Amino acid sequence: MFRGKQFREQKKTRRANVVSLGKYMPPDILTNFDLEQMVDTSNEWIVERTGIRERHVVKNGMRQSDLALNASREALARVGWAPTDLDAIIVGTVTPDHIFPSSANALAGKLGAIGVPSWDVLAACSGFMYSLYQGVVTVESGRADRVLVVGAEIMTSIVDWDDRSTCVLFGDGAGVLLLEATEEPCGVIDLEIGSDGRYPKLLHMPGGGSAHPATHETVDNKLHTLHMEGQETFKVAVKTMLNVTQTLLNRNNVKSEEIGVYIGHQANLRIIDAVTKRLRLRPDQVYNNIEKYGNTTSATIPSCLYEAEMKGMIKKGDWVVLVSFGAGLTWGGALIKWGIDPLPVLGDELEAGDSVSENYSDQLKPGRDWQRS
Ligand code: UT7
C-alpha cells in the first residue's frame, strides 16, 4: 500500500517541499578516550571499526522533547513560522520522554502549538524516514500545508554501559525539517519505505513493553537496554540501503553521478562506505557526521542534512538522497529535488543553547530578523 508503485501512479502536482532545517546536540561530549575508562575498549578499535570519535550526551537533565524543542525552534525561526502555523507535528523516536503521552505531544505543548495534531512514529533508526513519509503524504493529500518532522533521541538512556559492543556506538541529539506544500516541481519527489518483522532480535530492547513490563528481574537481566547482533545487522544494513537507493534512482531515472548529496543512516562509517562504493559515488557527493555524534538513531539523517545544507553542499535544483536502515527491520529512503535558496544562519548566541533556557526560547521567537525575505 505504501510502496512506490502506487505513489508514482498518482498524478501529482502538489508536493511537499523541504523549506527549513534545525539541529540540536546537547553540549556534553563523551570521547572514545572517556569510554576507555569505562569499558574494555580503545580509541583505535572504535575509530577503525565504526568511524566514531566522540558523541554528544545529555547530562543536564534535558529530556528528549527538549532536544526536539531546540531543533524545532531553530527551524521555525529560519522561515519565520509560528508554531501554530503548523498543521502536524510528527516525531520519530525510540527514546520518548514517556511511552505516553507521546513525545510529539510534549513537543507541541512546549512549542505552544496548541491544537496542532502531533504523534510519534516508532520505527527505530528509520523513525525519521517513516515520519518524513507520513509528513509528505499528509501534505500531498491536501490535509496539511505545513508539517514539522522530527528525529530526536536520548540513546544514552537505553544503552547498557557494561556492554562494550554497543555502548560505544550511540549518542544523543535532534534534527528536524519543515515541509510546505508546493505546486513547483521540487521537494520530495519519491519515497520508499518497508519492513521485515522476521528478525526482531537483531536489534531490540526486550523490556518495558507489555511483553516484559518492568520488574526487579527485568532490570537485573538488563531487558531495558538495547541488544544488538552487530555483524548480522551490518550485512543486512548494507544490502538494504543499497536496494532502497537503487529503487529510488531507477524509478526516477536518476543516475548515481547526478546525486548532489547522499546521506545514509549514520550507524557505522564502514556501512556507508560499503554502500556508497557500490553506488560509485564520489566522496564529494556523500555527507557524514558519525565521527562527531555517533549513532543518534532517528536524528542521524536530519542532523546530517542540516550540516550539509549549512556547509553549502546542497544547492537549489540538486538531487538529495536520504536512506535509513534500522531495527524492525525497517528501512526508508527519499529522493528530494532541493527547492530552496540557502537558509539564513542564526547568530551564535541563538545556536549555542546549552540548555532549554527561557532566554534561548525568547530569542528564537519566529518571524524576526532572520525571517526569509
Ligand atoms: O543503527 C541501527 C543499525 N545498526 C547497525 O547497522 C550496526 C551494525 N553493526 C556494526 O556496526 C558492527 O557490527 C559493530 C560496530 C557493532 C561491531 O563491529 P564488528 O567489526 O562487527 O566487530 P565484531 O562484533 O565482529 O567483534 C570483533 C571483536 C570481538 O572480539 P573477538 O571475539 O574477535 O576477540 C569483540 O568482542 O571486537 C570485539 N569488540 C570490541 N573490542 C574493543 C566488540 N566491541 C568492542 C569494543 N572495543 N568496543
Q: Burial level of 145, CB count in 10 A (0-12/13-18/19+)?
A: middle
Q: How far is the CA of 294 from the centre of ligand 1 (A)?
A: 14
In a domain, 367, yes or no: no
pTM for this entry:
0.91
Check 17, 56, 125, 268 and give the catalytic one.
Answer: 125
Give the Å distance between the CA of 169 and the centre of ligand 1.
10
Give distance in angstroms: CA of 52 to centre of ligand 1: 13
Asked if residue 134 belongs to a domain, the reply is yes
The verdict on residue 271 lying in a domain is yes
Degrees to nearest 5, angle at CA 261 with 21 and 134: 50
Catalytic, 216? Answer: no
> Which residues lie with the beta carbon below 6 Å from any ligand 1 atom?
41, 45-46, 49-50, 125, 164-165, 168, 203, 230-231, 233-234, 237, 267-268, 271, 295, 326
Q: In the numeric block, which cell numbers belong to residue 280?
A: 560509485
Surface-to-core class of residue 160, CB atoms within 10 Å of its CB (0-12 exposed, 13-18 middle, 19+ buried): middle
Is residue 217 included in any domain, yes or no?
Answer: yes
Domain encompassing residue 301: 4-360
**Which domain CATH number covers 104?**
3.40.47.10
Which ligand 1 atom is the nearest neighbour of the CA of 233? Answer: 8
pLDDT, tens digit only, all 373 positions of the chain: 344 544 455 555 899 999 999 999 999 999 999 999 999 999 999 999 999 999 999 998 899 999 999 999 999 999 999 999 999 999 999 999 999 999 999 999 999 999 999 999 999 999 999 999 999 999 999 999 999 999 999 999 999 999 999 999 999 999 999 999 999 999 999 999 999 999 999 999 999 999 999 999 999 999 999 999 999 999 999 999 999 999 999 999 999 999 999 999 999 999 999 999 999 999 999 999 999 999 999 999 999 999 999 999 999 999 999 999 999 999 999 999 999 999 999 875 444 333 333 333 333 333 222 222 2
Q: What is the DSSP letter of 284?
A: G
> Which amino acid belongs to residue 84?
T
The number of folded domains in the chain is: 1
Q: Calculate the alpha carbon distances from 10 to 63, 141, 190, 333 in Å.
A: 40, 11, 11, 19
Distance CA 368, CA 103 (A): 28
Residue 371 lies in a domain: no
